[in-house]
Amino acid sequence: MKNRTRYLHLLTAIVVLVTATSTCSAITPNRSSLLSTIDNYRFVTEQLIRVNQLPPSILFALQNKEIEINLSPPNKSQYVHYVDILSGELKKYPPDILNSNLMKIYIGGSYRQNGGTVGGLYSNQNIYVFYEQSNEKNKAIYLKQTFHHEFSSILIQAYGFPAFDWLKLNNPDFDYLINPRKIHEYLRSISVYEASEAQLKQGLVSSYGKSNAENDINTYVEMIFTEPKKMSKLINTYPIIHAKYDMIKAFYLSISSGFEPVFSAIK
């Protein structure tokens, strides 16, 4: 889950084929789905407009009154804009990886859980992204990062990321928060997503990475895929970040050599 303290019933569909070089620019009112084609991958996006479209784990917690949520659907322009962004970002993945690991992308307007704004969720091979997030200053980059963040969790589970080796790269005195209550309190206490100098030296590329190992990995991946120049600077400045980057690079290239262009952009 991408929470920055900010945290199927298939409806009547419109099928739109989008070529690898074009983007979706319109959606018919009252239609909820788009089928798009990029290279050899056909991806389905769907407007997230009802609570029962959320992941089963969320619905279970909601039924047991463990959480409180507020869900708003995307408006037409938000939906089309996010589909356009996804059309560009999905090209960074080998088509066979997408076909094997990604079924549908749900696009919502906003989602709040227990008072915190949620940027994205994942469940099985589905990703849930939300257009209205707290970081309005750099919205385009943030929307891109949300997708990569959530999809990396799916790939971590599907291909067996070496989590214990990752933990060994941290300093002996470093600990993730892990406990949900501590994470919630921590996220409400931080005002920026960027890592502090002290956190960079600890091997975190964002303050959110302190929550747990999975989110630490996720935040590396989102930066690798969207901000290669920034990642290049960090790996050449902070030894632990360099070591963690190398592990992620090795993992992704072990999945497919088709990821090589992503990592060749980082020097």
Closest CA to 48 of 24, 21, 72, 27: 72
Q: Predicted confidence band at 115 (pLDDT cuts at 50, 70, 90)?
A: confident
Note the pTM of the prediction, 2 decimals.
Answer: 0.85
Q: What is the pLDDT of residue 5?
A: 34
Q: What is the pLDDT of residue 184?
A: 76
Q: Which residues contact 215 (CB under 8 A, 6 or more apart)?
A: 2, 208, 209
Q: What is the pLDDT of residue 116?
A: 82
Is 108's pLDDT higher than 70? yes
Q: What is the pLDDT of residue 136?
A: 59
Is 21's pLDDT higher than 70? no
Q: Predicted confidence band at 249 (pLDDT cuts at 50, 70, 90)?
A: very high
Is 170's pLDDT higher than 90? yes
Is 163's pLDDT higher than 90? yes
Is 77's pLDDT higher than 70? yes
Q: Which residues contact 239 (CB under 8 A, 6 or more apart)?
A: none
Which residue matches tokens 């070591």?
243
Cα separation, 121 vs 138, whole angstroms:
20
Region of 114 on the Ramachandran plot (φ > 0 left; ψ -120 to 50 alpha; else beta): left
Is 24's pLDDT higher than 60? no
Cα separation, 209 vs 220, whole angstroms:
9
24 and 80 in contact (C-beta within 8 Å)? Answer: yes
Mean pLDDT of 221-231: 97
- The total number of residues shown for the chain amounts to 267
Cα separation, 56 vs 59, whole angstroms:
5
Averaged confidence pLDDT in the chain: 85
Is 70's pLDDT higher than 70? yes
